[in-house]
């Protein structure tokens, strides 16, 4: 499957990490299920994908409200992170996105803009041997308002010294696409694993 990019040229590429560069969403879901299972908290898979891009602390707080629970945010967050790091040897890159990273590395600046922690993003990119491809990382804790607010993307553009209108965003979630649009940036949507699998079967 080939990604259909909007017409350029672009001065910078900004990538979400989980589900965009790293095919990590299935692994993150396993980690969430294990961490939340310790508190008998359900987390539906469709809801998990719908909330893609939401910071971890926000997810735990929202689940607490939904289920009438009082899970300690920091403890559950650390447990989820630990379970995810244990799964890293199984991590692979999204080939359709990797192609564009390799094609533009060294030609235009590249950034990662993620709702995940810096530790998680760095670990994922290091596992995929892609950490050195990016000029800057913007992660949870670097900004106040999470996607769909444009703050994180605007911060990345400022760090790269590229005007928002000259940036192309690669995103797998609706919240991420909304944030890119609000930032005045063009975007390309990365299909979820099941759509990519279906497309590859059609091509074969």
Dihedrals phi, psi of 52, to nearest 5 degrees:
-55, 130
Q: For the chain, where are the E strands, in sequence order?
A: 12-15, 110-113, 136-138, 167-171, 186-189
Q: For 39-129, where are the E strands, in sequence order?
A: 110-113
Is 23 an active-site residue? no
Provide the CA 187 distance to its chain's centre, in angstroms.
Answer: 14
| Catalytic, out of 16, 18, 23, 172 | 16
Confirm if 12 and 105 have CB atoms less than 8 A apart. Answer: no
d(CA 166, CA 164): 5
Which residues are the active-site residues? 16
């Amino acid at each position: 499957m080939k990604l259909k990019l909007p017409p350029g040229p672009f001065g910078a590429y900004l990538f979400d990490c989980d589900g965009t560069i790293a095919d990590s969403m299935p692994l993150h879901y396993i980690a969430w299920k294990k961490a939340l299972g310790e508190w008998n908290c359900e987390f539906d898979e469709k809801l998990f994908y719908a909330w893609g891009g939401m910071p971890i602390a926000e997810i735990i707080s929202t689940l607490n409200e939904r289920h009438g629970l009082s899970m300690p945010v920091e403890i559950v967050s650390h447990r989820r992170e630990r379970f995810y790091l244990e799964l890293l040897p199984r991590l692979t890159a999204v080939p359709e996105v990797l192609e564009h990273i390799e094609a533009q590395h060294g030609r235009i600046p590249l950034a990662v803009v993620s709702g995940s922690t810096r530790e998680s993003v760095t670990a994922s990119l290091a596992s995929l041997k892609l950490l050195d491809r990016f000029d800057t990382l913007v992660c949870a804790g670097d900004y106040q308002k999470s996607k769909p607010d444009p703050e994180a993307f605007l911060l990345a553009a400022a760090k790269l010294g590229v005007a928002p209108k000259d940036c192309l965003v690669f995103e797998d979630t609706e919240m991420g696409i909304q944030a890119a649009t609000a930032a005045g940036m063009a975007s390309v949507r990365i299909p979820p694993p099941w759509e990519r699998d279906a497309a590859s079967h059609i091509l074969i």
